[in-house]
Amino acid sequence: MQRFKTADRLRGLAVAAITHAWMGTLDYHAADYDDTTDPVLPNFHGPNLYLFWHEYLPFMFYLRGHCDVAFLVGLHRDAEWIAQAARYMGFQTVRGSSTRGGMKALRTVIKSGGMNLAITPDGPRGPRRHLETGAVYLASRLGIPLVPVGLGYSSPWRVRRAWDQFAVPKPYSRARAVFGPRFHVAPDLDRDGLARVGENLRLALECVTATAEQWANSNARMARQRPLRREGVFRTRKIGRAA
């Protein structure tokens, strides 16, 4: 067991180092529907639950470490090295899901320090760009709004055999983010209510993603455009495991 833990830590460290080196070459800009959703902005209001598609995971891994953001990471065996990589990049991690041990831990994390949450709603195994209602369930039960974040690179390589067609940005290419409007979710939604909100949220996430991808490829100027920078420094930070 100790051998597996050591291997996961080393794999996580390697992923974090590669992500930092590769993603650090890109040209980042963002556009916002309002100036209160990005945790690094002076008018930020939170906590929020951020959603973005799994194929763009390194984008947020690189940019928003050390910004009071926690990732919800599943309990499957392969998730451990992802959790280790997230911690090296400056994120807190919560192991579990909306139905398996995650809710209590998430409540503790949010109440202890206003921590934001980040989820890839089609991960970890797809289908691609299919939004599971678990994220809506969490927002409903935790009482925090959802923020869809669209991400895009200019002419990225794609891992076509991967379930999410994972996007690999070319060095020194453009990377663009569009922070969408908040979705405020009513408490204690039933299954039909979760499904309705989930579909509206999926459409919104697809819209801001398409906008970010088109923006990256065209290099046009956007309204409310601003430079996007990595906050903090690349370092190892020991964070306790929520359970």
Helix (H, G, I), strand (E, B) or coil at 174: strand
- Across all residues in the chain, what is the average pLDDT? 85
Residue 75's pLDDT is what? Answer: 63
Per-residue confidence at 132, pLDDT binned at 50, 70, 90? Answer: confident
Out of 147-151, 153-157, 217-221, least confident range: 217-221
From 91, 92, 198, select the one nearest 140 (Cα to Cα): 198
Mean pLDDT along residues 163-170: 96
| Interatomic CA distance for residues 235 and 88, integer angstroms | 7
Please tell me which residue, 9 or 26, carries the higher pLDDT value: 26
Mean pLDDT along residues 27-47: 93
Residue 243's pLDDT is what? Answer: 29
Residue 9's pLDDT is what? Answer: 81
Per-residue pLDDT for 66 more than 50?
Answer: yes
Per-residue pLDDT for 235 more than 60?
Answer: no
From 73, 97, 96, select the one nearest 85 (Cα to Cα): 73
Residue 104's pLDDT is what? Answer: 63
Residue 165's pLDDT is what? Answer: 95
This prediction has a pTM of 0.87
User: Measured in whole angstroms, how far is the alpha carbon of residue 240 from the centre of its chain?
Assistant: 20
C-beta atoms surrounding 155 within 10 Å: 10
User: Percent of the chain scored above 70 by pLDDT?
Assistant: 83
Mean pLDDT along residues 111-128: 81
Per-residue confidence at 207, pLDDT binned at 50, 70, 90? Answer: very high
Pairing of strands 146-153, 174-179: antiparallel
Mean pLDDT along residues 101-129: 74
Long-range contacts of 54-58 (CB under 8 A, 24+ apart): 54/120, 54/122, 54/123, 54/124, 54/126, 54/128, 54/164, 54/166, 55/128, 55/162, 55/164, 55/165, 55/166, 55/167, 56/151, 56/152, 56/167, 57/120, 57/123, 58/19, 58/22, 58/23, 58/169
Residue 236's pLDDT is what? Answer: 35
Residue 142's pLDDT is what? Answer: 85
Please tell me which residue, 139 or 149, carries the higher pLDDT value: 149
Per-residue pLDDT for 99 more than 60?
Answer: no
From 8, 138, 127, 26, select the one nearest 72 (Cα to Cα): 138
| Interatomic CA distance for residues 84 and 80, integer angstroms | 6
Instruction: Provide the H-helix boundaries in the chain.
Output: 2-23, 57-63, 79-88, 102-113, 134-142, 191-218
* 102-113 vs 134-142: helix crossing angle, rounded to 10: 50
C-beta atoms surrounding 180 within 10 Å: 24
Mean pLDDT along residues 205-234: 88
| Interatomic CA distance for residues 209 and 206, integer angstroms | 5
